[in-house]
Amino acid sequence: MGSAPDSFAPILLQLLLGVGFSALILTLAFLINPKKKSKPQDTFECGVTYYGDARGLFNIKFYLVAVLFILFDIEAVFLYPWAVNLITFKEAGLGTFFLLEMFFFLLILVVGLYYIWKKGALEWD
């Protein structure tokens, strides 16, 4: 089904372009940044006075919703390549297997969503 590529030149070229572009951007940022010799008078130099503690506590619901968002976002990331390659799997005779496997994957996610919904994890009260 899969085999090693004949040439690693495109992979190497993309790696070199990525590293080179990153190095160029960092070098330009270092060269053209403003060079201030004075120490700042305040923590924030934008003119707005700050208040409160920077280490304030957040509601645990914020973290829970963030983790759930990441979970379902990753699920969408897995669905896209699967949908693109489904025709290839079908031509190889594995279409039904991969379709059932993806339905099982989605079923697990729907059961998880139902569970957190019934537990009230998405309620902000």
pTM of the model: 0.47
* HEC letters along 13-74: HHHHHHHHHHHHHHHHHHHHCCCCCCCCCCCCCCCCCCCCCCCCCCCHHHHHHHHHHHHHHH
| pLDDT value of position 3 | 62
Query: Which of 13-27, 74-88, 104-118 shows the lowest mean pLDDT across its residues?
Result: 74-88
| pLDDT value of position 96 | 86
pLDDT over threshold 70, residue 2: no
Cβ-based neighbours of 71, under 8 Å, separated by 6 or more: 112
d(CA 102, CA 79): 8
| pLDDT value of position 48 | 65
* pLDDT band per the 50, 70, 90 thresholds, residue 72: confident
pLDDT over threshold 90, residue 27: yes
